[in-house]
Structure 1
Amino acid sequence: MRSAHWYGGKDRDGFIHRAWMRRGLPKDAFDGRPHIAIANTASDLTPCNSHLNEVMEYVKNGIWEAGGVPLNMPAVSLGETLVRPTAMLWRNMAAMATEELIRANPIDGVVLLGGCDKTIPSLLMAASSVDIPALVVPGGPMLTGTFQGTPLGCGTDVFRLSEEVRAKKLSEAKFLDSESAMIRSRGHCNTMGTASTMGIMAEALGMVIPGIAGTPAPDSRLLQYSQESGRRIVEMVHEGLKPSDIMVKGSFLNAIVALAGIGGSTNAVVHLLAIAGRLGIDLTLDDFDRTGSRVPLLVNLQPAGKYLMEDFHRAGGLRAVFKELEDLLDPKAITVLGTPLVKGLSEAEIYDTDVIRSRKEPLQPSAGIAVLRGNLAPLGAVIKPAAASANLLKHRGKAMVFDSIEDFKARINDPNLDVDENSVLILRGCGPKGYPGMPEVSNMPMPQKMLDKGVRDMVRICDGRMSGTAYGTVVLHVAPEAAAGGPLGLVQTGDFIELDVEARTLNIDVSDADLAARKPNTATVDGFAKSARGWQKLYIDHVMQADTGCDLDFLVGSSGEHISRESH
């Protein structure tokens, strides 16, 4: 056991390590039992994860049952709705902190408890870097809330209803009344947003016991699965089954297939790229387009459809989706059980064909993430066609440029703003370096004058991200970002922008010579983040671009389980 390096022997060091840990542990706790950390992101300030302390107790029960020693290890927790300036700024810090805690402590395996958007990605990045036996228990979505008889999609309906208020189609009083009904129970967002997507991605990667992802947080079966996961991690330690054995290139391609089939969040792109980077796997944006863009959308959930995660679970869940897409999956990729991901799919069933469609009758025939390139995005940009307006997927229009979020907020409701329904809204300075942290602002609210005309969607382009619960014809993750010298920083209001999703192109109708002669204007440069100290400075100096996952350049690649020097 790895932990024996701390607890073994009869010298002073072994004495110290054992003595300080003898706080109710059985006598044989240090006689070869696996010591299992539970990386626990429970926090009252991450409301989606606030129930994970209860989940942890059931994981502990399973570890004890299997002969292990469970140890709660609180991990950095990031609440998507609360953390400023954006939770994405802290994803890499959370991953780095968890990585170092795993490496520095006497543990043989780790169970990763996450739920809210950045927690599962950061935990997987950490576990990939250390590469000791690990598995994920996703915290699960909340139950469906209703308001005046109508189901509410957490996140998606916030965007929808707030626009209806701005369009004077819904009273502010009714909008605020819906607030108390939207969050019905423990758990993360109940739409196919980033939290739901990343729980599913963890299972598609093989890092979750098959069939668990998507189980609602209040469902008692989640506690049963948590106990089973506790038992399984002890077995994995004895087997020596590590993340690098499970998450291979085929596993990531399976995750891309799943991402398309469920209509998952565009945020999964940067997270999967970052996790792959930690493992040294050559995953690129082209893999998302090549593997996923023609996969049919089978899951009829908000924001691409109408149902919610509770419906997805009762309709058969991820295993039912996998059964429909089995021929597209890598049959060699395994799970934390040590068996192929595709094993047992013949037993999966769809119980509601309106929630989970069959391959023959998909919601959309091809709706995976599309990767765009051109002189406006030399390193790529992404769009989620399933959440876009079909009539805007090929479009030419004049740019209306906003140099920062503050500039956007100051002018978007100006009745004299020179826009019409064909205009292309461009927001820059929102990339990893520019903001910093790449906020979820790409799905810009409509200009007030367009709302008043009944317009509910326009082409929008940004170097930032958008919430997985959002919708619209939004081109995002433009790379290089404006703050990294990308051409997005050179666009001028009035330039013609050409988008062609089918052709996978995004261009500005300006000659190469004219574009090369331009320089960013003062307002653009003034809007970029500037930090002289702390994490923000480290982040700005070392964060990579969206096309490689926005990790820090010095964290790419696995560095193994060993600490550099022994203590004492």
Structure 2
Amino acid sequence: MSDTTGKELHMDGKKKLRSAEWFGRKGKDGFIYRAWMRNQGIPDHEFSGKPIIGICNTWSELTPCNAHLRDLAESVKRGVLEAGGYPLEFPVMSLGETLMKPTAMLFRNLASMDVEESIRANPLDGVVLLCGCDKTTPALLMGACSVDIPTIMVSGGPMLTGRYLNKSIATSDIWRFSEESRAGLMTQEQMYMAEASMCRSPGHCAVMGTASTMATMVEAMGLTLPHNAAIPAVDARRKVLAQLSGARIVDMVREDVKLSHLLTRKAFENAIMTNAAVGGSTNFIIHLLAIAGRMGVPLSIEDFEGIEKNIPLLVNLQPSGEFFMEDFYYAGGLPAVMRNLKERLHGDAMTVTGRTMGENVSHAETHNDNIIAPMDSPVKVDSGIWVLKGNLCENGAVLKPSAASSQLMRHRGPAFVFENIEDFKARIDDPDLDVDEHTILVLKNVGPKGYPGMPEVGNMGIPKKLLDRGITDMIRISDGRMSGTAFGTVVLHVSPEAATGSLFGLLETGDIIVLDAISRTLNVELSDEVIEARRKRWKPNYPVSERGYAKLYQDHVQQAHLGADFDFLRGSSGDAVTRDSH
């Protein structure tokens, strides 16, 4: 029996649950599926047509940002149960940004495959994605997009603001402390004191770094309940949001609201505009492009600036400003920002609440204009992510203007090239390094293939000889990424990367580079003859993996301007089990 859309229905008129293919069967197959679940003490009535809700948990003690997600999962379960569903928690690979080597980004695609196949292979009607640390949010969403069943996201929330010497600190201060230590302005004992003072509660970074940017992204796309982005991890309201999300996913299953219904072009555009307003991480662009690729939504790196055009920085948070995520929530959180943006946003975009984005934020209020500014009096005029093009980056490179130095936005200077990160570490503090404040530091072979995994090393430290002179910023260019907590005039994600034999890979120390960020261009002054001669003698200068996942990654990863996803994962493949053997 089918309705007019072709969806299979039960005789009572309700849509057939996906989990019924397991628990609704008779005979041997149904016996096996139900019998093995019963060893957990599940009674008969839980198999009687209730929506089965998977709780996809990235809890891990190796991922400190997510170490409280087991507790949050219990709140989700309460919501699922009260709404008449049945929750089943399952683990997937957890990506800890601080501990994983060589870089957590190497494993984003692997975690997304874990999520995709875990959802597809199991009797789930809907899923709640519990995420927090930088890569866990895009990895979980990418995997869920590939399956396309009803999905809602719950972030772990930011940690409380740190306190050191009676001042507020957070992860953005790590870069400042590091430079002060290298310059001899901060002792090792003071570094230890600051270290012990910074991370004083569960949760992810307390600034608008990548984790907060990702939490903001999914709320702006309508995939979470309002205020998901900013409620502190230890605030009781985070648990309330989790419980309400658990209840809501059950209704989404009954209403058959899938990711493909929500992740339209309008949702992606809302995320891009909101990211500009909050001063989000440059990592936003690479993850959003990957998510769009999974959903089959047309989105290119060239689209970003047009969509975010004339949207200023409205949120005064580190690293682009001075406050912290905890302050942001108390000032009104993301709904207040989106209400200030209402004339630009697609207010008719649907969300997991069952209401439009415009309806979700219509009653939001700003409680502190110093933290959340109105459109006519922004924190900074220049915001968003600028996309550069030129002979050094034919497919694009990115720069975050709100974290850069205005006097460096137009600059012509000689390159000093580091062939890889090991080369950089070995030489950066050499007192005889031939650099000055006009030099442009270049780091090659840290792109998707070249590292592999594209690590967050693009915000290279300033040479010690310049720190000693009081120089705090200079232009740095790489085919890698940088932490969302970092700042400076840093050009990132150069595509094609050095490992492909691109012009960027042919750069040598002394080459004259011209950055005109205002005109969005990045070029090197080299003749065709010089380029051709270098290309003939170019040889790969990066480690090539011979086995396992790293080999799979290097063989199939796409370039940064495509989101660094695997070429064989673009496009959604649906929720049908790969091969049903019963």
- TM bucket by the smaller chain? over 0.9
| Contact in 1 for aligned 2:121/2:577 (Cα 8 Å) | yes
Is the 1:293–1:370 Cα contact (8 Å) retained in structure 2? Answer: no
What corresponds to 1:50 in structure 2?
67
Residue in 2 that maps onto 1:479: 495
Pairs within 5 Å for 1:318-333: 318-333=334-349
Per-residue CA distance 1:372-423 (angstroms, 9 max, x = gap): 0000000000000000001001111100000000001111111111111000
Give the ranges of 4+ consecutive aligned residues of structure 1 lying more than 3 Å apart after TM superposition.
none
Separation in 2, partners of 1:424, 1:540? 29
Number of equivalences: 565
Task: Say whether residues 1:525 and 2:537 are aligned partners.
Answer: no
* Corresponding residue of 2:577: 563
Please state if 1:20 is matched with 2:46: no
Of 467, 475, 478, the match for 1:462 = 478
Q: Tell me which residue corresponds to 1:245.
A: 261
* Amino acid aligned to 1:564: T
Of 289-298 and 397-406, more deviation after overlay is shown by 289-298
Match of 1:553 in 2: 567
The percent identity for this pair of structures is 55
Relative to structure 1, is the Cα distance of residues 161 and 124 closer, same or farther in structure 2, using a 3 angstrom cutoff? same
| Structure 1 residue 61 displacement after superposition | 0.5
- Counterpart CA distance in 1 for 2:536 and 2:190 is 44
Find the partner of 1:535 among 549, 562, 568: 549
Deviation at 1:293, TM superposition (A): 4.5
How far apart are the structure 1 equivalents of 2:303 and 2:81?
41
1:364 aligns with 2:380: yes
What is the 5 A alignment of 1:262-341? Answer: 262-341=278-357
The structure-2 alpha-carbon separation of the partners of 1:416 and 1:53, relative to structure 1 and needing over 3 Å to count, comes to same
The answer for the alignment partner of 1:186 in structure 2 is 202
Distance change (3 Å), C-alpha of 1:62 and 1:381: same
Give the counterpart of 2:184 among 162, 168, 180: 168
In 2, are the aligned partners of 1:215 and 1:313 still within 8 Å (CA)?
yes
Deviations 1:301-340 (A, max 9, x none): 1000010100000011101111111111112211101221
Superposition CA RMSD, Å:
1.1
After superposition, the C-alpha distances for 1:510-540 in whole angstroms (9 at most, x for unaligned) are 1234323323877x733x1211100000000
Partner of 1:342: 358
- Hey, what's the Cα distance between the residues in 2 that align with 1:406 and 1:293? 38
Structure-to-structure mapping, 1:91-490, within 5 angstroms: 91-154=108-171, 156-490=172-506
Aligned partner of 1:37: which letter? G
AA in 2 matched with 1:350: T
Q: Offset at 1:344? A: 4.2
Q: 2:170 touches 2:199 (CA, 8 Å); kept in 1?
A: no
Task: Map Cα deviations across residues 454-473 of structure 1 (whole Å, 9 max, x no partner).
Answer: 10000000000000000000
1:10 aligns with 2:26: yes
**In 2, Cα distance between equivalents of 1:166 and 1:293:** 39
Mind listing any 5+ residue stretches in structure 2 that lack a counterpart? 1-16
Give TM-score scaled by structure 1 length.
Answer: 0.98
Offset of residue 209 of structure 1: 1.0
Q: Partner of 1:497: helix, strand, or coil?
A: strand
What 5-or-longer segments of structure 1 have no aligned partner?
none
Partner of 2:14: none
* Matched residue type, 2:550: Q
Per the normalisation by structure 2, the TM-score is 0.96
Is 1:37–2:54 an aligned residue pair? yes
Letter of the 1:546 counterpart? A
> What displacement does 1:345 show?
2.6
Asked whether the equivalents of residues 416 and 442 of structure 2 are also in contact (C-alpha less than 8 Å), the reply is yes
CA distance in 2, matches of 1:140, 1:150: 22
C-alpha displacement of 1:172: 2.0
Q: Matched residues in 2 for 1:12 and 1:71: separation?
A: 23
